[in-house]
Structure formats: structure tokens, C-alpha cells
């Protein structure tokens, strides 16, 4: 009921909606409306009430629930179902546990993660109300060997979304987004598949949106930052989520429906922070220097090693660093 009341108020954003109208349209008592309004205020909505005129929304909180995000989406597939939590261990864990019951395109969002994860079992710092910690469930009808390419599609979409929000950024192959040489976003793609059938893919996207300096642990400060720290702007997190989903949908559909990665790869190439530089490749226990020449049409990083041999790296277990530091 609270959601329906909120929707009525939002449909007439800024205008007064009378208690009588709410009561008639939704079949609730005046007393119940009053209770729901108080509960909405507790959630952070600013609601003005004037006797005889009714209720009016003055401002909405920057929460990442369906009520706040849905009106910003122009997607058909992504984010049509949003599972929202205040706290969760890891949105990717939750998504994997529940993927069979959730629709293609469903999104899990939490205001904080207590055990956020990066690749290779690393941790991901995810403080309350400061970032976007979300996972998208995808059920593409593609061969499992192509699933890692989805990371490139998502990186391209995040890059576009940040530009739309006025933030210059680069992509660090395969899965990080960089602003001013620091990591502000990581992408973690996991899947569950049979030999030639994908059951589901979970794409985790962690974005440091409004983290302050003190939210970033000392040992990460040299390589991690937030959009707020780097741009000096406080962004609305719900707009960040919506931009990403809106930009991702067409690129993702091109890939799964037409097997066409061209646009995504073009974006990843044009915005790559690695191409044209000497980099350090960390491949399990082995480390070596190489020159990053380009990105193949398949989304693999093309490198030339010190003996002049060219090879293509598939993202899997590889990390790439600048030869002198992070990037």
C-alpha cells in the first residue's frame, strides 16, 4: 500500500493530492494514509501536508529502491524487477543463490555490503548509502565460452553512463573503470552453466559514488577513489544506476541477439587506459612486462612481450598494472 500511495504522489509530483482521492482510489482509510505518510517520512521522503489540500511530495531521498529508480529507466529488460536491501553480504552471492527464481534482467541492489567481493576472492569495500552495489541477473542464450565478453559490454555501458553524468573516465581492461588514474568501479562477472548452455550470468557492479576520503581504507588510497572525490560533485546514486542500465540495454541486446560486439569494443578501445603503454601482466604466479597493443574484436587484450611475440589475453585470472604502479 505504501508503494501505491507513493506512486500516486509521484504521478502528481509537486502537486497536492487530497486524502479523499487517495482514500477513494486505493480503498484505504484516512487513518491508514496518515500512518503510511509517516512511514514514508521515516524513509526520507519530505512530504508536506495541509488540511483540506492534502499531501504533496517535496523531495525524494536518494535511495536505490524500485520506487526511486523505475521512473528513470527507459529499459524493457534490465531493472524491471529490483530486489532492494539495506544490507546484504554480497549482491553477487544473493543473485547466485536466487537466480533460478529471478527473471532475466532482474537487479539486486543493497545500500551496503558486509562481504563485497572482487575478482579472485578479493574483497570490495561497500559502505552504507555511499555507493552503488548491484548485481544484474542475465539469462542469455549464448555459448558459455562467450560469457566473459559481457564484462566488456558492461564496461562500455558504465563508461558511457559516466560521460553522460559529466565524468571523464577510462576503462582498464578487463573490468575496472578509472577516473584520474584511480579505480572508481569494478565489474565482477560470474556464471552458472552446462557445457553448452548458460543457466545464468551474474554481473556485479560496484561503484564508489559518494565515498569521502575517510571511507577509503588507507591501503587502497593509492589506487581507489570515488566519483565525488575526483569530480567534486555529489551525484544522485539512483541516476547512476538508471544511466548504467539505460546504456547497457542496447549494447547487451546487440551482443546477445545479433552476436554483435562492435560498438562495445569500439568504446572499450577508444577509452582504454592500457593501450599504447607498457604494462605488467600478473597471471597467477607469473609476472612479466609487455606492451599493450590493442583490443581484439573479441575483447581480448593484445600484448607484445619482450621477445616481440604477440599474444591475446583472455580476461579470466589476469590482472594488469602499470609497470610502476596501479595505472
Binding residues for biotin: 90-92, 113, 117-119, 183
User: Using CB atoms within 10 A of its CB, is residue 221 exposed (0-12), middle (13-18) or buried (19+)?
Assistant: exposed
Nearer to ligand ADP, 82 or 188 (CB): 188
Helix axes 237-258, 262-270, angle to 10 degrees: 130
- Decide: helix, strand or coil at residue 209: coil
Tell which one of 41, 122, 197, 284 touches ligand ADP (CB under 6 A).
Answer: 122
- CA torsion angle 134 139 145 146 (round to 10): -70
Could you give the count of Cα atoms lying within 13 Å of 149 in the half-sphere of its Cβ? Answer: 25
Q: Which three cell numbers stand for residue 156?
A: 562500455
Q: Which of 95, 120, 74 is nearest to 244 (CA)?
A: 74
Positions in 134-173 near ligand ADP (CB under 6 A): none
The stretch near ligand ADP (CB under 6 A) out of 64-72, 117-125, 137-145, 273-281 is 117-125
Cβ atoms 242, 69 nearer than 8 A: yes
The stretch near ligand ADP (CB under 6 A) out of 120-128, 142-150, 152-160, 265-273 is 120-128
Min. distance of Cβ 282 from ligand ADP in angstroms?
8
Nearer to ligand ADP, 81 or 278 (CB): 278
176 makes contact with ligand ADP (CB under 6 A):
yes
| 192-205 per-residue burial string, b: 16 or more CB within 10 A, e: under 16 | eeeeeebebbbbbb
- CA torsion angle 113 118 123 126 (round to 10): -30
Q: Which of 198, 147, 136 is nearest to 174 (CA)?
A: 147
Tell which one of 118, 144, 250, 294 touches ligand ADP (CB under 6 A).
Answer: 118
Nearer to ligand ADP, 123 or 199 (CB): 123
Min. distance of Cβ 223 from ligand ADP in angstroms?
7
Q: Which three cell numbers stand for residue 112?
A: 551496503
Q: In angstroms, rounded to a whole number, what is the distance separating the alpha carbons of residues 96 and 48? A: 41
183 makes contact with ligand ADP (CB under 6 A):
yes
90 makes contact with ligand ADP (CB under 6 A):
no
Nearer to ligand ADP, 140 or 206 (CB): 206
Tell which one of 63, 125, 265, 279 touches ligand ADP (CB under 6 A).
Answer: 125
224 makes contact with ligand ADP (CB under 6 A):
yes
Element (H, E) at 279: strand 278-283
> Which residue of this chain has its Cβ atom nearest to ligand ADP in the complex?
118
Tell which one of 58, 120, 145, 289 touches ligand ADP (CB under 6 A).
Answer: 120
Tell which one of 148, 208, 246, 271 touches ligand ADP (CB under 6 A).
Answer: 208
204 makes contact with ligand ADP (CB under 6 A):
no
Nearer to ligand ADP, 2 or 323 (CB): 323
Nearer to ligand ADP, 124 or 252 (CB): 124
Nearer to ligand ADP, 150 or 224 (CB): 224
| Beta bridge partner(s), residue 301 | 295, 313
Eight-class DSSP state of 27: T
Q: In angstroms, rounded to a whole number, what is the distance separating the alpha carbons of residues 256 and 251? A: 9
Residues of this chain that interact with ligand ADP (CB under 6 A) are 118-120, 122-125, 175-176, 183, 186, 206, 208, 220, 224, 319
Amino acid at each position: 500500500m505504501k508503494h501505491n500511495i507513493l506512486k500516486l504522489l509521484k504521478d502528481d509530483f509537486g502537486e497536492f493530492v487530497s486524502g479523499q482521492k487517495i482514500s477513494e482510489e486505493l480503498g484505504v482509510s484516512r487513518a491508514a494514509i496518515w500512518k503510511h505518510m509517516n512511514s514514508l517520512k521515516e524513509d526520507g521522503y519530505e512530504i508536506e501536508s495541509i488540511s483540506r489540500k492534502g499531501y504533496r511530495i517535496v523531495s525524494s531521498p536518494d535511495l536505490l529502491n524500485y520506487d526511486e529508480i523505475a521512473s528513470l529507466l527507459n529499459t524493457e529488460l534490465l531493472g524491471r524487477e529490483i530486489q532492494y536491501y539495506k544490507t546484504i553480504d554480497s549482491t553477487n552471492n544473493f543473485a547466485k543463490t536466487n537466480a533460478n527464481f529471478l527473471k532475466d534482467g532482474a537487479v539486486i541492489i543493497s545500500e551496503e555490503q558486509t562481504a563485497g567481493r572482487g575478482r579472485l576472492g578479493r574483497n570490495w569495500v561497500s559502505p552504507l548509502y555511499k555507493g552503488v552495489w548491484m548485481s544484474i541477473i542475465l539469462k542469455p542464450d549464448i555459448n558459455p565460452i562467450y560469457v566473459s565478453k559481457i564484462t566488456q559490454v558492461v564496461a562500455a555501458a558504465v563508461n558511457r553512463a559516466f560521460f553522460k553524468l559529466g565524468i571523464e573516465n577510462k576503462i582498464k581492461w578487463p573490468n575496472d573503470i578509472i577516473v584520474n588514474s584511480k579505480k572508481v568501479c569494478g565489474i565482477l562477472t560470474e556464471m552458472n552453466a552446462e557445457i553448452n548452455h548458460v543457466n545464468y550470468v551474474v554481473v556485479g557492479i560496484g561503484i564508489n559514488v559518494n565515498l569521502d576520503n575517510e571511507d577509503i581504507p588507507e591501503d587502497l588510497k593509492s589506487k581507489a577513489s570515488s566519483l565525488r572525490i575526483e569530480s567534486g560533485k555529489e551525484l544522485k546514486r539512483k541516476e547512476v544506476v538508471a544511466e548504467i542500465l539505460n546504456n547497457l540495454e542496447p549494447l547487451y541486446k546487440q551482443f546477445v541477439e545479433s552476436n554483435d560486439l562492435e560498438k562495445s569494443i569500439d568504446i572499450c578501445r577508444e577509452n582504454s587506459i592500457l593501450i599504447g603503454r607498457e604494462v605488467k601482466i600478473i597471471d597467477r604466479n607469473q609476472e612479466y612486462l609487455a606492451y599493450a597493443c590493442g583490443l581484439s574484436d573479441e575483447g581480448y587484450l593484445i600484448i607484445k612481450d619482450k621477445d616481440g611475440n604477440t599474444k591475446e589475453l583472455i580476461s579470466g585470472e589476469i590482472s594488469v598494472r602499470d609497470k610502476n604502479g596501479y595505472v
